[in-house]
Amino acid sequence: MRTQVAIIGAGPAGLMLGRLLQLAGIEAVILERKSADYVLSRIRAGVLEQGTADLLARVGLGDRVAAEGLPHGGIDMCFDGDLQRIDFTARVGRHVTVYGQTEVTRDLMEAREASGALTIYEAGDVAVHDFDGRQPRITWRKDGIEHALSCDFIAGCDGFHGVCRASVPERAIRTFERHYPFGWLGILVERPPVSEELIYAHHERGFALCSMRSLTRSRYYVQVPEGERVEDWSDQRFWDELRGRINPEAAQRLQIGPSIEKSIAPLRSFVAEPLRFGRLFLAGDAAHIVPPTGAKGLNLAISDVAMLGAAFVEHYAERSDAGLDAYSARALARIWKAERFSWWMTSLLHTFPETGPFGRRIQRAEFDYLCGSVAAQTSLAENYTGLSLD
Ligand code: RFL
Ligand code: PHB
C-alpha cells in the first residue's frame, strides 16, 4: 500500500490535517490505535479560539459549531471571592466559542467517513521507519495480520504518549519540561452552568474553574494534590470544595447534580524541538503539552496542522519546500507563546507548595494589576482568544 502523507493519530490534529489535505487533493491515510468510539468518548477541551472556529468553517464544517457552539465575549477572573470580568470584545474585538473537543472530533470524523478517505482504527504496534531517507514506511498489526504502508511524509499527530516522537534518536531532539505538583479533578453534570461565562478562580485552598459544554451541561474543575484518587471524591465532597473556592454569589446559584463523568488530569508543560526529522513532522500533543488553564491544548494542535497542511499543499501544488523547511521554527514561535500564557495563567491561579505568604501577596498584586489595567486585560484577551499564526 502507498499514500502521499501517512498521518499517525486520529485526534483533532490528525483529523484536521487529513481534512486540509483532502480538500487540496492530497492523498492521506490515518492510522489510529484506538476505536472510533473510544476516541469520541474522551472528554477533553471545551473552548475554541476564534481562529479554530474560523478554520472549521473554512474546511466546510462550520454549520454545527455555528448552530450549537456558544460564543463567549469574555471570562470572569476571581481571586478570593473578588470578581473581574475580562471583556474580550471590548479589548480586542474577538471572542471564543464553547464547543467540546468531542464535537470537533465528531464533525471531522463524519466528514472523513462521508468522503471515503481511509482511516484505519485499532491499528496495533504502529511503527515508523526510514523517515530520514526518501521513502518512509509505516507498519502495524490489525486482526493478527502485519500491514505496511509507504509514503512521502509522516505526520506524527499521535499525542503525548505516541510512537512518533519516541522513534526519533535521542541526540536529534531536545525537550523542555515543567511538572506541576497537582492535577485537575473535573466533573461533567447535566445541569445549567452557574454563569453565562467561564469563571477562573484562585483561592487559598486551590484553583477552581466553572465551565460548560452547553446551556444544560456544565463542566467544573478543582485543583487537587498530585496522587489524589478519584474514588476518594464523592460528588458531595466535590461540590463542597468547589463552592468554597468560587465567589459567594456563584456558590449560591450553583445547581448541583449527579456527575456523569469524573476524572483527574495531570498538569504539565512540555515542548520538543525541533518538529521535523527528515520526512517526519510532529504536530499537536505529540510535540507539546500545556497545562489546561489557558484553554490552549486543542487550539495549538489545530494551529500546528493549519501551518503543516499549508506546507504540504505548497510542496505538492507549487513544488516548493519553503513551507516544510520553515514549519518547525514557525510553529515553535507560536507554541512557546502559548506555553508562556498557559504557564502564566497557571501560576496566577493555583496554589503551589512553595507559594507561601510572599507568593500569595504577589499573586494578589498580579490580580489587582489585572483589575486596574486596561493594558493587562488587553494582553490576557489577546492571548486567550488566540494569537495570529505569525
Ligand atoms: P490527541 O487528542 O491526544 O490525539 C492523538 C491520537 O493519537 C492516537 N495514538 C496513536 N495512534 C496510533 N499509534 C500509536 N502508537 C498512537 N499513540 C497515540 C491516540 O489514541 C489519539 O487518538 O492529540 P492531538 O490531536 O494533538 O490533540 C490535542 C488535544 O487533544 C489536547 O491538547 C487537549 O485535549 C488537551 N487537554 C485539554 N485541553 C484544553 O484546552 N482543555 C482541557 O480541558 C483539556 N483537558 C486535555 C484534557 C488532555 C488530556 N490528556 C491528553 C490526557 C484532559 C486530558 C485527560
Ligand atoms: C473545559 O471546559 O473543559 C475547559 C475550559 C477552559 C479551560 C480548560 C478546560 O481553560
Note the pLDDT of residue 43. Answer: 84
The reply to whether ligand 2 has any atom less than 6 angstroms from the CB of 33 is no
First and final CA of the chain: distance in angstroms? 37
For the CA of 13, the nearest atom of ligand 1 = 25
> Does residue 390 surpass a pLDDT of 90?
no
The mean pLDDT value for 354-367 works out to: 96
Q: Residue 168 phi/psi, 5° resolution?
A: -80, 135
In 216-371, at which residue ranges do the beta strands (DSSP E only) sit?
218-225, 259-273, 276-277, 280-282, 288-289
Residue whose CA is closest, atom 52 of ligand 1? 265
The reply to whether ligand 2 has any atom less than 6 angstroms from the CB of 386 is no
**Angstrom distance (rounded) from CA 155 to CA 157:** 6
User: pLDDT digit string (tens) for 26-41?
Assistant: 999 999 999 999 999 9
**Angstrom distance (rounded) from CA 139 to CA 125:** 8
Note the pLDDT of residue 349. Answer: 98
The mean pLDDT value for 257-284 works out to: 97
**What separation in Å is there between the alpha carbon of 297 and the centre of ligand 2?**
10
Residue whose CA is closest, atom 1 of ligand 2? 46
The mean pLDDT value for 204-233 works out to: 97
Q: Is the distance from CB of 302 to CB of 105 less than 8 angstroms?
A: no
User: pLDDT digit string (tens) for 16-29?
Assistant: 999 999 999 999 99
- pLDDT-based confidence at 358, cuts 50/70/90? very high
The reply to whether ligand 2 has any atom less than 6 angstroms from the CB of 193 is no
Percent of the chain residues past pLDDT 90, beyond the cut: 98
Q: Identify which of 43, 48, 101 to mutate to test ligand 1's pocket (most ligand atoms within 8 A of the CB).
A: 101
Average pLDDT of the chain? 97
> Does residue 245 surpass a pLDDT of 90?
yes
**Angstrom distance (rounded) from CA 258 to CA 237:** 12
In 248-304, at which residue ranges do the beta strands (DSSP E only) sit?
259-273, 276-277, 280-282, 288-289
**Angstrom distance (rounded) from CA 38 to CA 158:** 15
The reply to whether ligand 2 has any atom less than 6 angstroms from the CB of 46 is yes
Q: What is the CA radius of gyration of the chain?
A: 21
Q: What is the DSSP letter of 255?
A: P
**Angstrom distance (rounded) from CA 336 to CA 350:** 21
State the ligand closest to the CA atom of 217: 2
Q: Residue 128 phi/psi, 5° resolution?
A: -110, 135
The mean pLDDT value for 97-110 works out to: 97
Number of alpha carbons in the 13 Å side-chain half-sphere of residue 257: 14
Angle of the 297-318 helix axis to the 322-349 helix axis, nearest 10: 170
User: pLDDT digit string (tens) for 154-200?
Assistant: 999 999 999 999 999 999 999 999 999 999 999 999 999 999 999 99
The mean pLDDT value for 205-234 works out to: 97
The reply to whether ligand 2 has any atom less than 6 angstroms from the CB of 195 is no
The reply to whether ligand 2 has any atom less than 6 angstroms from the CB of 48 is no
- pLDDT-based confidence at 219, cuts 50/70/90? very high
**What separation in Å is there between the alpha carbon of 247 and the centre of ligand 1?**
32
The mean pLDDT value for 120-147 works out to: 97
Residue linked to cell 541526540: 171
User: pLDDT digit string (tens) for 62-84?
Assistant: 999 999 999 999 999 999 999 99
Number of alpha carbons in the 13 Å side-chain half-sphere of residue 39: 27
For the CA of 200, the nearest atom of ligand 2 = 10
Burial 235-249 (b: 16+ CB within 10 A, else e): eeebbebbbebbbee
Note the pLDDT of residue 305. Answer: 98
- The domains of the chain, with CATH numbers, are 5-70+98-177+268-348 (3.50.50.60), 180-267+351-385 (3.30.9.10)
Q: Is 265 exposed, middle or buried (0-12, 13-18, 19+ CB in 10 A)?
A: middle
- pLDDT-based confidence at 372, cuts 50/70/90? very high
pTM for the model = 0.97
Note the pLDDT of residue 128. Answer: 98
Indicate which residues carry an active-site annotation.
Answer: 72, 200, 292, 296, 384
**Angstrom distance (rounded) from CA 345 to CA 184:** 14
